[in-house]
Each structure stands twice: as C-alpha cells, then as structure tokens.
C-alpha cells in the first residue's frame, strides 16, 4: 500500500491505496465520487474525464498514486455556490444528453476546452470533444450546449475552471 494525499473537489483526503489502483476507481470506490463513470477502461470513450490540476485527463489512464499532492475536480465538484456550472446548465438547457452516461466526462472535457479556447467555432468544439464518445445523441445538441456555455461564460466574464 502507498499513502497518498490528494485534494478532490476542494476537500483533502489521505488514503492508503494499492500502487496499481486507477484514479477512476479511487474516486468511485474510496471517495464515493460516482459521477465519474467507468466507460471502457481503455481510454477510448472519455466517460471518466476529470480535471487534474485544472486539465482534463481520462482517469482510467491515471494511477491514484500519480494524483498524490495534486488537485482533482470531478463533475460533483464543478458547480459552486449551490447552482450549476454554466456548462452543466447549458447541457440541461440544450438537451445535450440522452442516456447521460457520457455526460460527466463530456462536460469536464468541454470546460477544459473553453479554458483553452473561450470562443471556439463549431469545428473547434467538435475537434476538442473528439476523445469523448456518445452513442446516443449524434453530438448536435452537445456542440450546441458547448457553444451556448461559451457565450454565457463570456457574457458573465467567467473563466472556465
């Protein structure tokens, strides 16, 4: 076992973990952060996307020990102050989900996309999300939601986090 200390959604945790434990399993099984879902375990689908020190990563490709001393934000920690994050609200308002399985990872990737490019074109949104798969929606409303969130966040002067 290896002792790790990690900040997850603003709270500090210290736990003993197996060195081979994936971050996605640590988040779900140890911390109960079940909004981060296991999709494929091969990094193909992006359903497990979280932010590690503010950058999106597929948590099925990161060992929990690699997060030691770092900050992780999950879909549960994205909203602050009791309201939805603008990206979460945009997904809701634009009907950008069907089964919802890909939604947490898609939102986390989209937030990172807007952090890097606050005013993306439709093509840039599609390119920025291409590592995240959705089997239900055809992506039209997802792209629409990301564009709406970009507009909303620009209007509020928000910085994607």
Domain ranges of the chain: 2-77, 86-156
The per-residue pLDDT for range 142-157, each reduced to its tens digit, is: 999 999 999 999 877 6
The whole-angstrom separation of Cα 111 and Cα 128 is 10
Q: What is the pLDDT at residue 137? A: 81
Question: Are 64 and 4 in contact, with CB atoms under 8 Å apart?
Answer: yes
Architecture of domain 2-77: Roll (3.10)
Ranges of residues in the chain whose predicted pLDDT is under 50: 160-161
Class of domain 86-156: mainly alpha
Q: What is the pLDDT at residue 81? A: 85
Q: What is the pLDDT at residue 161? A: 47
The whole-angstrom separation of Cα 62 and Cα 23 is 6
Q: What is the pLDDT at residue 41? A: 76
């Amino acid at each position: 076992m290896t002792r790790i200390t990690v900040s997850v959604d603003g709270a500090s945790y210290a736990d003993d973990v197996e060195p081979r434990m994936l971050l996605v399993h640590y988040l779900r099984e140890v911390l109960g952060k079940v909004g981060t879902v296991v999709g494929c375990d091969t990094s193909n689908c992006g359903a497990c996307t979280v932010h590690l020190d503010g950058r999106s990563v597929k948590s099925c490709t990161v060992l929990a020990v690699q997060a030691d001393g770092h900050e992780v934000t999950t879909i549960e920690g994205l909203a602050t102050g009791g309201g939805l994050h603008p990206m979460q609200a945009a997904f809701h308002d634009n009907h950008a989900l069907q089964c919802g399985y890909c939604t947490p990872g898609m939102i986390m990737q989209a937030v990172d996309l807007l952090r890097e490019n606050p005013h993306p074109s439709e093509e840039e949104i599609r390119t920025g999300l291409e590592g995240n798969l959705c089997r239900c929606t055809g992506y039209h409303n997802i792209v629409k939601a990301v564009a709406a969130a970009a507009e909303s966040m620009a209007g509020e002067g928000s910085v994607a986090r």
